[in-house]
Structure 1
Amino acid sequence: MRTIKRQHRAVNAPIADLVTYRALPTQSVEHLDPFLFLNHHGPQVYPAPNNGLPFGPHPHRGFETVTFILDGDIMHQDTGGHQSIIGPGGIQWMTAGRGLIHAEISSPEFKREGGPLEILQLWVNLPAKDKMVEPRYIGLQEPEIPTTTLDNGRVTIQAVSGNWAGTQGAVQPLADIQLATVHLTEGGTLELNIPAERTIFFYTVRGRLRVNGEETSARQLVEFNHDGDELHLEATSDAVVLLGHAKPFGEPIVAYGPFVMNTEQQIQEAYRDYQAGTFGRWTE
């Protein structure tokens, strides 16, 4: 059974009127290679009317954003020509690659009607060989994401990428990144085998659990040692977990604002390219 190195509490980091807790990076943990960043927005209830999400047009290069919509919606647009509105239970997987500009805002309906909102955004690194690939975007509604149910219905795994208990995820990423959301009712248990060399990403979104014998609760990121391959979860209340694993890239990480590359020179090149318009021109 893997041992836990440390638990990290997400820090309060509101953005305008959006309730936000940043789980990665914090003062106690910089990254969990290749997982770079996690913002937990909400839960909160927006009034009618409202301004919605505050993420207007901005650039990215060198990594991927994976967004999990638990409540509310996100309207996506980017300079690659992709547009979508994804609702509760859906996901967005955007590969920034060589660079693009995108916006993540609320739909006109949500801004008009309001309602509950809870969203997770995870940044996943790209290996050096794929930093400059063509951008791509995948937006999936909840019914398009395979699920598997275990422990007499007390555990449901939404397989986003990779293979989970024999169920193949909806997205085939460039690197071997396995991601899922796990919903457990109180008393539900889950046992997984994850090779010791792989980094586990384990963030409790809601509820309380016992993981490999240690208590954890909402808004805590669990960091594991690389000393075992067994993962055992037991829900001590109804709970939701963002769970992933991947083999570490072991490459230099240089991050500055919206760009994640391997060298300072590459960061400077990203800014020059963005200013020169090679990420595309934004049109409303």
Structure 2
Amino acid sequence: MATRKIKKVHKAVSAPIGNLVTYRALPTREVEYIDPFLFLNHHGPQTYGPNNSGLPFGPHPHRGFETLTFILKGDIMHQDTGGGQSVIEKGGVQWMTAGSGLIHAEVSSDKFKREGGPLEILQLWFNLPARHKMVKPNYIGLQQGELPTKTEDGGRVIVNVISGKWGDVEGPIASLGGIAMGSIELKQGGTFTAAIPAERNIFFYVVRGQVNVNGQHISKLHLVEFEQEGEEIKVEALEDAYILLGHARPFNEPVVSHGPFVMNTEQEIQEAFQDYQLGKMGRWTE
């Protein structure tokens, strides 16, 4: 099996949001997106003291894409105008299909704001294909124990399966864009190998630790961009590490984004703003 070639390695850029430590891996000056993976913000790690204001993401609209949020430390209290509501804690994930549009808020729980503690959260945006841009919004929140896992290399590698099929393990979330997504925990010395068809784009981000990927050293806060040549991905942990890994067939469709909306044309962006202002994405009530 041919090894997948690495095209370039991109360092996430510092992009703090108020007092929230944030690194943005997508988009940057070097890489706009890896179709259909659009955006990644890595918040933290940092520690909040007691009586803090928590996450700053109050009510805001979205249309035309999906979000996947990883809660590595701390928690997120989610609420949206489609009826979704939950508090997801350490080890859990949130998958939201914005589709035709909704308003949502992602803030810290009252308990976290009162007591404080460590926080580390990542949010990844996936594009939706044109045929699904206006689907009905949906929200799924899963706690750590609700995610299936796949253990490899004598227990030194754990794959947390979110969507798609990983060997004989099926993810609990059905991706409208055919995206396979997981997170991988590696103990020092652990090895993970995957075969990903050459026609599928790969999303690979190192959250923590240092790894060798197909023989190249990659440290935390780096995004690996691969060529569409070869299939085998081999990851060796030089120290305890945590990575995000996803793959999908590219949509090869126009991407027009403006703030919270991702569509295929400028006209659709204008319609999104109008629909939001007219209340067609719901009206926020506390």
- TM-score by shorter chain over 0.5: yes
Output the CA distance in 1 between the equivalents of 2:65 and 2:115. 34
Structure 1 stretches of 4+ moved >4 Å = none
Equivalent position to 2:223, from 184, 204, 221: 221
Equivalent position to 1:186, from 164, 167, 188: 188
Equivalent position to 1:162, from 158, 161, 164: 164
Tell me the amino acid that sits aligned with residue 157 of structure 2.
V
Q: Give SS of 1:111's match.
A: helix
> Unmatched 5+ residue regions in structure 1?
none
Which residue of the partner structure matches residue 265 of structure 2? 263
Kindly, what percent of the aligned residue pairs are identical?
65
Q: How far is 1:16 from its partner?
A: 1.1
Q: How far is 1:49 from its partner?
A: 1.3
Which residue of the partner structure matches residue 10 of structure 1? 12
Q: How far is 1:165 from its partner?
A: 2.6
Deviation string, structure 1 residues 22-49 (Cα, Å, up to 9, x no partner): 0000000000000000000000011001
Which residue of the partner structure matches residue 66 of structure 2? 64
Tell me the amino acid that sits aligned with residue 57 of structure 2.
F
1:107 equivalent to 2:122? Answer no
Output the CA distance in 2 between the equivalents of 1:174 and 1:197. 18
Which residue of the partner structure matches residue 250 of structure 2? 248
- Report how many aligned residue pairs link the two structures: 284
Output the CA distance in 1 between the equivalents of 2:93 and 2:14. 24
Deviation string, structure 1 residues 78-117 (Cα, Å, up to 9, x no partner): 0011110000000000000000000000000000000000
1:148 equivalent to 2:154? Answer no
Which residue of the partner structure matches residue 21 of structure 2? 19
Q: How far is 1:163 from its partner?
A: 1.1
Q: How far is 1:170 from its partner?
A: 1.6
> Unmatched 5+ residue regions in structure 2?
none
Equivalent position to 1:203, from 186, 205, 224: 205
Output the CA distance in 2 between the equivalents of 1:49 and 1:210. 41
Q: Give SS of 1:32's match.
A: coil
Output the CA distance in 1 between the equivalents of 2:31 and 2:176. 25
1:128 equivalent to 2:104? Answer no
Q: How far is 1:164 from its partner?
A: 1.3
Output the CA distance in 1 between the equivalents of 2:143 and 2:28. 31
Which residue of the partner structure matches residue 212 of structure 1? 214
Tell me the amino acid that sits aligned with residue 282 of structure 1.
W
Output the CA distance in 2 between the equivalents of 1:161 and 1:82. 19
Output the CA distance in 2 between the equivalents of 1:258 and 1:159. 27
Deviation string, structure 1 residues 122-158 (Cα, Å, up to 9, x no partner): 0000000000000000000000000011000000000
Q: Give SS of 1:272's match.
A: helix
TM score, norm. by length of structure 2: 0.99
Root-mean-square deviation (CA, aligned residues, Å) is 0.5
TM score, norm. by length of structure 1: 0.99
